[in-house]
């Protein structure tokens, strides 16, 4: 069941990443979604406190614990998290 929850969460974040941030209030949603994706990957972060958009579906997330991650969708449409 946990795998199914991860799949739905990642699908939701992928949809959000494809939409891209349009307004300031959506920025808070992006930080929240990036926090969820990083946590679902089992990576240390705590909470995403900042993010910069690198390109379409591509963000650099800065965590409150000092870690930084690149969160993007690959060619197959999967969300990938890479430690920076």
Containing structural domain, residue 32: 2-83
Low-confidence ranges of the chain (pLDDT < 70): 1-26
- Residue reference for tokens 């705590």: 46
Q: How many folded domains does the chain comprise?
A: 1
């Amino acid at each position: 069941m946990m795998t199914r929850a991860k799949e739905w969460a990642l699908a939701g974040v992928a949809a959000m990443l494809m939409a891209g941030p349009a307004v300031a209030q959506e920025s808070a949603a992006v930080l929240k979604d990036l926090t969820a994706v990083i946590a679902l990957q089992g990576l240390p972060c705590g909470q995403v406190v900042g993010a910069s958009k690198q390109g379409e579906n591509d963000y650099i997330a800065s965590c409150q614990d000092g870690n930084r991650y690149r969160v993007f969708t690959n060619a197959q449409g999967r969300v990938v998290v890479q430690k920076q």
